[in-house]
């Protein structure tokens, strides 16, 4: 067995013993808690429209990109309804790194030819 393999077995054995003896794991091992500050922005109609325009997208394309209906985007932009927290988080990410999302948007955009001739 390699040195790495022996080290892994030793550490897992130590962890197992700590669990079985009901020791305070945080006293014996390095434990970290990670907190994320991800409270979504409250989007009003103007902010939704600005975010859509960052991508240079129509309402229909923006709706498809976010995974919502066109009616939802229209309602947000008219101020009739506020976006869900999930949609707001996605728009926060677009606003946080617009260059990345413009690039990503262009990667998934597919030009279609009018088939009616």
Return the pLDDT at 90: 97
Q: What is the pTM of this model?
A: 0.68
DSSP conformation letters of 6-66: HHHHHHHHHHHHHHHTT--HHHHS---------PPP---HHHHHHHHHHHT--HHHHHHHH
How far apart CA 98 and CA 51 sit, in angstroms, is 9
45-108: which CATH topology? Answer: 434 Repressor (Amino-terminal Domain) (1.10.260)
* DSSP letter assigned to residue 109: -
Q: Which two tokens stand for residue 54?
A: 């960052």
Return the pLDDT at 116: 54
Domain spans, the chain: 1-34, 45-108
pLDDT mean for each 10 residues of the chain (117 residues): 92 90 84 88 97 95 95 98 97 96 87 57
Return the pLDDT at 95: 97
């Amino acid at each position: 067995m390699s040195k790495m393999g022996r080290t892994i077995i030793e550490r897992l054995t130590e962890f197992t013993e700590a669990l079985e003896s009901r020791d305070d794991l945080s006293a014996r091992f390095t434990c970290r808690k990670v907190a994320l500050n991800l409270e979504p922005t409250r989007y009003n109609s103007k902010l939704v429209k600005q975010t859509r325009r960052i991508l240079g997208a129509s309402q229909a394309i923006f709706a498809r990109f976010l995974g919502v209906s066109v009616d939802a985007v229209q309602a947000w932009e008219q101020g009739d309804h506020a976006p869900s927290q999930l949609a707001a988080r996605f728009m926060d990410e677009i606003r946080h790194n617009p260059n990345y999302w413009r690039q990503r948007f262009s990667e998934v955009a597919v030009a279609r030819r009018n088939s009616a001739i």
